[in-house]
Amino acid sequence: MPAPPPPPPAPGSLGPLTVQGAPRDRGRHGRRPRPGAPHRRWERSVDDRLLGGVAGGIARRLGVDPTLVRIGFAVVTVSGGLGAALYLGAWLLMPLQGRDESIGTRVAKDRQGIVLSLAFLPALVILLVVGGALHAGVVTSAAWPVFLCAAGGVLLWRNVDADERDWLRHAAAPVLRLGVGTRTTRRLFVLRLAVGVGLVLAGVALLTVHHTYVSMPRIFGGVVLLLVGAVVLFGPWWLRLARDLMAERQARARAEERADMAARVHDSVLQTLALIQRASGDPQRVVQLARGQERELRAWLFDGEIPGALDAGVTTLAAGVRAIAAEVEAAHGIVVDVVAVGDCPLDDRLRALLDAAREATVNAAKWSGAGSVSLFAEVEDSRVSVFVRDRGRGFDLDEVAPDRRGIAQSIQARMLRHGGRATIRSTSGEGTEVELTVAREALR
């Protein structure tokens, strides 16, 4: 094989593409660490984690066995509970591997979230006042912890990483199920709620029975007045908060849509333009590429057919992976070896996974200089992974220019948006491997 042309600066793509409202992680891969390289940062491990990846991260930073760190935490936890607090602190302060900011930093910057959690303050005041009036120490002493838990829960929910949010959602499933469950489960939940509230009220009544100097009607009258007052005073505020929150959610959805669109344009139009530049000596090929792209673009703009989307006939993951291989082999004249283990129907997440896998395969075909690419897909009970590997020239992730959207947008951001992750390992002269993982939708 003749000597390859000088390596292009990036396996990403061509020129700069400015995306308005792109996800927050733009330009961060300049600092992205490579697995296997010595780690100078304190960060939570992605590959080696039982809970939050703290022990794995510490172990990697110190170069010791993660089991030792875990045992350390366990021992300190058992003898007084300090370990749990330390772990929680570390979880908040250590950024996840590949992320710039820790959860703590994000919480501190999350003004909207802080305002939102302050909305619990009136509830706290009411609890304290009612508790004080009833001389119920239980209520007063529980008020602060309840408030802190609620506020903290809101802030964490808004700022943890996507896969950990999945985990939280799973943990909170019994409560959240109210919104999505079937009619029977919802009815059961309402029943439980009614019984619970009844019991609590009975308890409060029992507690207050011997305070004979205050008559019961007066107490309840007071409570009702308080509640009404709170609603009158704080109602508008709560309403505005809810509206703001909705607006924010819509804005985020719009930004994600735009980012998705940018990724699509990159995968289709920009990739074709790159192919045309490389085939400039072959007018026929250029015409053919331009025609194909024109057709695709028209279909997108006027018929709503998403470019690069898989055929409607492709409904399972393994079929999708094979379709990608066939497409890349045809477009780039390179061998793509497919190995698929297990299979499952496609959903939105898995489609995004396939889109990212296609982009990684196209990158390997275009830039690696290798004659073949290995594509391995595995469906497990809890997750789906795809590995794209070539034995080409490899590249240095730190040197990928921030305006190259291929890796950042089409692969990493796309995976993050869908609650998955992308890990890229590349060694100059030995090749590149892209690992894409996404959790399977909870099967209930």
Partner 1 sequence: MSPPGAHDAPVPRVFLVDDHHLFRAGVRAELGDAVEVVGEADEVPAAVEMIIERTPDVVLLDVHLPGGGGQSVIDQVRQSAPDVRFLALSVSDAPEDVISVIRAGARGYVTKTISGTELVAAIRRVAGGDAVFSPRLAGFVLDAFAAMPSGVAPVSVDPELDQLSSREREVLRLIARGYTYKEVARELSISVKTVESHVSAVLRKLQLSTRHQLTYWATERRLV
Q: Which residues contact partner 1 (rule: CB under 8 A)?
A: 335, 337, 339-342, 374, 376, 378, 381, 387, 389, 391, 433
Toward partner 1, which CB reaches closer, 99 or 391? 391
Toward partner 1, which CB reaches closer, 139 or 356? 356
Toward partner 1, which CB reaches closer, 42 or 376? 376
The Cα–Cα gap between 56 and 48 comes to 5
Classify residue 16 by its DSSP letter: -
* Gap between the terminal Cα atoms of the chain: 54
**Shortest CB 442 distance to partner 1, Å:** 17
**Shortest CB 292 distance to partner 1, Å:** 28
Sheet containing 431-439, strands listed edge to edge, beginning at the edge strand earlier in sequence: 335-341, 372-379, 383-390, 431-439, 421-427
Cα angle 353, 346, 440; round to 5: 70
Toward partner 1, which CB reaches closer, 120 or 387? 387
**Shortest CB 391 distance to partner 1, Å:** 8
The Cα–Cα gap between 336 and 341 comes to 16
**Shortest CB 339 distance to partner 1, Å:** 4
Toward partner 1, which CB reaches closer, 77 or 427? 427
Half-sphere exposure of 267 (CA within 13 A, CB side): 29
Toward partner 1, which CB reaches closer, 87 or 367? 367
- Which amino acid is it at 5? P
**Shortest CB 322 distance to partner 1, Å:** 10
**Shortest CB 174 distance to partner 1, Å:** 24
Phi-psi region of 276 (alpha: psi -120 to 50; beta: other; left: phi over 0): alpha
Toward partner 1, which CB reaches closer, 240 or 383? 383
Burial of 273 (0-12, 13-18, 19+ CB in 10 A): middle
**Shortest CB 435 distance to partner 1, Å:** 9
CB atoms < 10 A from the CB of 413, how many? 26
437: closest CA among 422, 418, 417? Answer: 422
